[in-house]
């Protein structure tokens, strides 16, 4: 049985408390279960702590690949509290984009430097491997994985996984790409017209016909006006990309820390309205801790 399960859905910072208890307050962590005890982990926000507790209860050796979307705190802060990583015999392969002059390993080790945390990453007793990724196509454990650079400060990747005959795309943090003029002039050669590819169309192509698209929908269109270049999407953009790509199920993800459960409900309703008005029957869900979507 293959499925997607959400362990953390909140953006930016954990938000515990009664007003966020229904959708959940943990930062991003998604389990992509491939069946037969094989699974990938997408991001290592605070939600990975609970995934770790779940794995401990199963009492089996753990081997997994952890795909980090990017190195901002909310996507890596759970690693020091991920107990299976302290158990000898377990093995984790970290994948993700590295910054220009820092390796994946250095970045992950740095959040556990002795000033910030009492245990260093080298003291975690499971086996760690680090494999940087770039935009392109890969294969891990027989699963085809495609990666695409996103529009988010620093180097952030979106991932597409091909599982059996289903496709899942995980794009945790992304905002609309600036729209280039359809054509622009080459300043060295004014007679030459250069056509600039619209990266929003590139994104639509990347998520074309996917079964499950998990995508940033942190803001309302109103909120986005004052948050351009913060790296997050207004929900209307996310719905339009999904509609353009004929996605089957869209999961709105990376909820804003100031949005309580009632506000997230309203965002989901507004997103559904855009889809209905476009005549689509796409399923739209709000990411919720504990939610599971079958891939069978």
For residues 154, 40, 204, 235, the Cα torsion angle rounded to the nearest 10 degrees is: -70
- Letters for 61-90 (x = contact with Zn ion by CB under 5 A, - = none) are -------------x----------------
Under the criterion CB under 5 A, does residue 175 sit at the interface with Zn ion? no
Of 64 and 174, CB closest to Zn ion: 174
Counting residues that bind Zn ion (by CB under 5 A) gives 3
Q: Please, what is the minimum distance in Å from the beta carbon of residue 38 to Zn ion?
A: 26
Write down the number of H helices and E strands in the chain.
7, 16
**Spatial distance between the Cα atoms of 72 and 181, rounded to a whole number of angstroms:** 31
Closest distance to Zn ion from the beta carbon of 232 (Å): 8
* Cβ-based nearer residue to Zn ion, 98 or 126: 98
* CA terminus-to-terminus distance, the chain: 6
* Nearer to Zn ion among residue 52 and residue 231 (C-beta): 231
Shortest separation between residue 173's beta carbon and Zn ion, angstroms: 4
Task: State the nearest-atom distance from the C-beta of 256 to Zn ion, in Å.
Answer: 11
Instruction: Answer yes or no: are the C-beta atoms of 242 and 216 closer than 8 Å.
Output: no
Contacts with Zn ion in 187-216 (CB under 5 A)? none
**Whole-angstrom distance, CA of residue 291 vs CA of residue 184:** 46
256 binds Zn ion (CB under 5 A): no
The reply to whether 173 sits near Zn ion by the rule CB under 5 A is yes
240 vs 255, which CB is nearer to Zn ion?
Answer: 255
d(CA 196, CA 32): 35
Strands (E), 133-209: 136-140, 143-149, 157-163, 166-171, 183-185, 193-195
Choices 135-143, 166-174, 189-197, 274-282; region in contact with Zn ion by CB under 5 A: 166-174
CB 238 within 8 A of CB 197: no
Site of interaction with Zn ion (CB under 5 A): 11, 74, 173
């Amino acid at each position: 049985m293959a499925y997607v399960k959400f362990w953390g859905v909140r953006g930016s910072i954990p938000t515990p408390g009664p007003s966020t208890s229904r959708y959940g307050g943990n930062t991003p962590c998604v389990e992509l279960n491939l069946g037969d005890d094989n699974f990938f982990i997408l991001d290592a926000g605070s939600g990975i702590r609970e995934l770790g507790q779940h794995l401990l209860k199963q009492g089996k050796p753990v081997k997994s690949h952890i795909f980090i979307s990017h190195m901002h705190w909310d996507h890596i802060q759970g690693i020091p509290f991920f107990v299976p990583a302290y158990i000898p015999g377990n093995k984790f392969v970290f994948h993700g984009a590295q910054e220009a002059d820092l390796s994946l390993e250095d970045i992950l080790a740095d959040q556990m430097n002795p000033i910030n945390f009492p245990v260093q990453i080298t003291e975690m007793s499971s086996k760690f491997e680090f494999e940087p990724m770039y935009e392109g196509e890969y294969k891990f454990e027989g699963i085809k994985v495609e990666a695409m650079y996103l529009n988010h400060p620093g180097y952030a990747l979106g991932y597409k996984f091909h599982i059996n005959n289903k496709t899942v795309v995980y794009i945790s943090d992304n905002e609309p790409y600036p729209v280039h003029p359809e054509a622009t002039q080459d300043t060295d050669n004014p007679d030459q017209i250069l056509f600039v590819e619209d990266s929003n169309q590139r994104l639509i192509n990347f998520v074309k016909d996917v079964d499950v698209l998990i995508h940033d929908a942190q803001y309302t269109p109103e909120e986005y006006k004052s948050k351009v270049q913060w790296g997050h999407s207004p929900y209307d953009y996310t719905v339009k990309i999904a509609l353009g790509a004929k996605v089957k199920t869209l999961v709105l993800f990376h909820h804003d820390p100031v949005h309580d459960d009632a506000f997230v409900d309203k965002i989901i309703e507004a997103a559904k309205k855009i889809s209905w008005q476009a005549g689509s029957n796409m399923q739209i869900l709000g990411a919720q801790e504990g939610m599971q979507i079958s891939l069978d």
